[in-house]
Amino acid sequence: MTAPYRPARMYGMYYGMANMVHRATFALDEVTVTRIRRLATAWKVSQAEVIRRAVAATDVATNPDPLAMLESLHQSGSGLSTAKAESYLTAVREARSEWRGT
């Protein structure tokens, strides 16, 4: 006999269900309410869970991981060409030498 599924305990979670710490009231237009209800039905979750997921997804989309962005830039190959990079570094070295007076 296998033990019942018990997800790892996380802050705000109790046996896989959200442990509500804050309650809020919002005034929403009919279109938004209809969308929330439709998503809740399709996903088989509560309307509050729909909003939690939407907020989490928006947060990830609007606050991307800087390391992931840098890796994406490197993989795209759309960075500076070697010639432009060397030119930039030369200009920086010269400017620093002038600033230091050496």
Strand partners, 14: 17
Structural domain boundaries enclosing 40 = 29-100
Cα 52 from Cα 46, distance rounded (Å): 10
15's CB contacts (< 8 A; 6+ apart) are: 6, 7
User: Domain total for the chain?
Assistant: 1
46's CB contacts (< 8 A; 6+ apart) are: 40
Average pLDDT of the chain to the nearest whole number:
83
pTM of the model: 0.49
Q: Is residue 38 part of a domain?
A: yes
Q: Is residue 20 part of a domain?
A: no
Cα 90 from Cα 98, distance rounded (Å): 12
Could you read off the pLDDT of 23-64 as tens digits, one per residue? 889 999 999 999 999 999 999 999 999 999 999 999 888 888
**Alpha carbon 86 to chain centroid distance?**
34
